[in-house]
A = this chain, B = another copy of it.
């Protein structure tokens, strides 16, 4: 209502529905709704018929989010990044700290994956890969030598592969129930 005369400041703001916002931002419609639902982004305006209605500014936010996701930031991190983005009084050191933390996480993951790759590669190289059953890969998996106790202890050789928690949130020595 009250949008008649004069090309008011709210004149030429072309809005769009979720599909167009999705195309324009590179974020799927599903994910846009999800981000709204979880509070990462504000509830969208609605048209009279209930369709979500996005402005260029909204799309700008969505693109920000997508780029952050592309860099591997978690949604939690992104919430923080958005806050910093909007905060005129932010200190760049805060952003830097966040990014550095993320880099550390990434490096842990990389190291873990590289360890796996290295082990697997040497096993694959040792495997004849023929019609016979003998296979060093299987052997490695079934053999109980060194391994044995690794349920406790800080470990022997594995560099960061087993860095507990962060990197590879898998197996951490049977805490049971």
Q: Which residues of A contact B (CB under 8 A)?
A: 18-19, 22-30, 60, 63-64, 66-72, 81, 84-85, 87-93, 95-97, 99-100, 102-103, 106-107, 109-110, 113-114, 116-117, 119-121, 123-124, 127-135, 137-138, 140-142, 144, 147, 150-151, 161, 170-171, 173-177
Contact = CB atoms under 8 A, between A and B. Distances in A.
* Copies assembled: 2
Contacts of A63: 144, 147
Residue picked from A89, A117, A127, most chain B C-beta under 10 Å: A117
30 contacts: A22-B176, A23-B176, A24-B151, A26-B151, A26-B173, A28-B174, A29-B177, A63-B144, A67-B141, A69-B171, A71-B116, A71-B120, A71-B141, A81-B141, A85-B141, A87-B133, A91-B131, A91-B132, A92-B128, A92-B134, A92-B135, A92-B137, A93-B131, A95-B135, A95-B137, A96-B124, A96-B137, A97-B129, A99-B124, A110-B110
A135 to B, nearest CB: 4
Nearest to A148: B63
B68 A141 contact: yes
Contacts of A81: 138, 141
A36 to B, nearest CB: 15
